[in-house]
Structure 1
Amino acid sequence: MATNAAPEPEQPEGTGELPLESPRALTVYVARRRKLSEEMEALKARSAEGELTLREAIVVLGVRAYTLLLILLSLPFITPIPLPGLSTPFGVAVGLIALRLMLGQKPWLPEKVLNRPIPPGFFGKVFKFAAGVIRFLEKLLKPRLTFLTDTVILYRTHAALMLVAALALLLPLPIPFTNTFPAWTIILVAAGLLERDGLFILGGYLAFAAGVLYFVFLGEATQRALVWLKDWVVSWW
């Protein structure tokens, strides 16, 4: 009998590139995988050794690399860590990964993005601010509402949401919290896909909705400010 549930994938080689015949392709091998904080600690240790690239980060992160990258590259946007020259490559990388997942294709990044150098110790600084968030997520994450992660069409819908959020990260707006909501959307949805936690995915949709409301509020406030400024200028003539 036909079913929307995806079949179990074959075991990958451990290069960080995973088959995507099913939505579960990035969330298997429970016995082998490390905790999220352990994945981050491994990358932190490698970052402390010197400059590294996203290509090297993928090797360090192993079989769940691309889903972990969605979280990893979004974390800096919720911390006060400056991203000189990195915000655009990070946003592009997240967007490309989400796009490929949405299309049901194997994650892929262009050579220019893969080879982009990341300053030594950068991830250590990020994890210093985000360690509490990561451990908090770890305690809450568990398989539940798995129909939201194991159904192909829903999986691709979640990827489309992350793609839209990634495009929002690319907007050069010097306004507080404009990156926070999209980043949280990606973090929550990716974490939900990683651990088959549908409740976290719903949290990602709520974060996205809150971001939309925030942008609408900003638009209304800006429009009213411009009208007030226009009236003030006219009153002086």
Structure 2
Amino acid sequence: MTQPLQNLEQLLDRVSTVARQNERVSIEMVIESIGSRSFGPLLMLIGITLFSPLSGIPGMSFFMAAFVLLVAVQMLIGRKRFWLPHFILNRSVEHKKLQKALDWLSKPARGIDRVLKPRLTFLVQRGGSYGIAALCVVVGLCMPLMELVPFSSSAAGLALLILGLSLVAHDGLLALLATVIFGGAFSFLIIHLL
């Protein structure tokens, strides 16, 4: 049984292990390594993908939006284990590209992990986690539009990464920060589309 993740560095280490062992790394391989029972690590995975250089792959925002919506809706309805369709699970990337993105993120991950601690836990446990799932539905619905405005999907990715971290570390302050970041990205999107 996979041990629950405690921080961002552990997530990157697990994904890096999969990348070193395979020529191409599928989403299914990554999810198996981090566990499919926890909403936080899956959000972190989506956030890392959108915030990293991998977000430059055409259509990545649209694809990740579908992933966010599937996971968030399943959390809202109370599923204990997440189901994802094969078209998402089979998507893969070359291990060299993935490892380059992971290397790029490793130093910031160590710094971020130093400041994580349980705070304002009511925002990330029980009812609060449903609020986070609802926010993720909104983010997922907005992401296809973010493909039209440069860097807005990276901001949404950062917000999703922080939301995932808040669930893993039981840090409600991070959930508030992610809400502010997404609010800023949404405002930026609206200004540029009008």
Same fold (TM over 0.5): yes
Q: Report if the CA contact (8 A) 2:5-2:41 is conserved.
A: no
2:33 is matched with: 60
Whose helix proportion is higher, 1 or 2?
2
Give the SS at the match of 1:93.
helix
1:126 is matched with: 101
Higher relative CO (CA 8 A, sep ≥ 6), structure 1 or 2? 2
User: What is the CA deviation profile of residues 61-80 of structure 1, one whole-angstrom value per residue up to 9, with x for unaligned ones?
Assistant: 13765421211222232233
User: What is the CA deviation profile of residues 139-195 of structure 1, one whole-angstrom value per residue up to 9, with x for unaligned ones?
Assistant: 11111111112232x211111101211232233634322212211221111110111
Q: Which has the larger radius of gyration?
A: 1
Pair 1:193 & 2:167 matched: yes
Give the SS at the match of 2:149.
coil
CA distance in 2 between counterparts of 1:36 and 1:172 reads 25
Pair 1:146 & 2:118 matched: no
Q: Report if the CA contact (8 A) 2:62-2:144 is conserved.
A: yes
Tell me the CA shift for residue 84 of structure 1.
4.3
Pair 1:115 & 2:87 matched: no
CA distance in 2 between counterparts of 1:61 and 1:163 reads 22
Query: Gapped runs of 5+ residues in structure 1?
Result: 1-13, 16-28, 221-237
1:40 is matched with: 12
Q: Report if the CA contact (8 A) 1:104-1:156 is conserved.
A: no
* CA 1:34–1:191: 2 relative to 1, 3 Å: closer
* CA 1:34–1:208: 2 relative to 1, 3 Å: closer
- State the TM-score, normalized to the length of structure 1: 0.71
Equivalences for residues 28-107 of structure 1 within 5 A? 33=5, 35-48=7-20, 49-62=22-35, 66-81=39-54, 82-84=56-58, 86-106=60-80, 107=82
* CA 1:173–1:209: 2 relative to 1, 3 Å: same
CA distance in 1 between counterparts of 2:132 and 2:5 reads 23
CA distance in 2 between counterparts of 1:56 and 1:65 reads 15
Query: Gapped runs of 5+ residues in structure 2?
Result: none
Pair 1:171 & 2:148 matched: no
Between the aligned residues of both structures, percent identity stands at 25
**Once superposed, what is the RMSD of the aligned Cα atoms?**
2.4
Give the SS at the match of 2:160.
helix
Give the SS at the match of 1:206.
helix
User: What is the CA deviation profile of residues 116-137 of structure 1, one whole-angstrom value per residue up to 9, with x for unaligned ones?
Assistant: 2332233212112222332222
User: What is the CA deviation profile of residues 2-55 of structure 1, one whole-angstrom value per residue up to 9, with x for unaligned ones?
Assistant: xxxxxxxxxxxx36xxxxxxxxxxxxx7xx645421331221132133112222
- State the TM-score, normalized to the length of structure 2: 0.85
1:9 is matched with: none
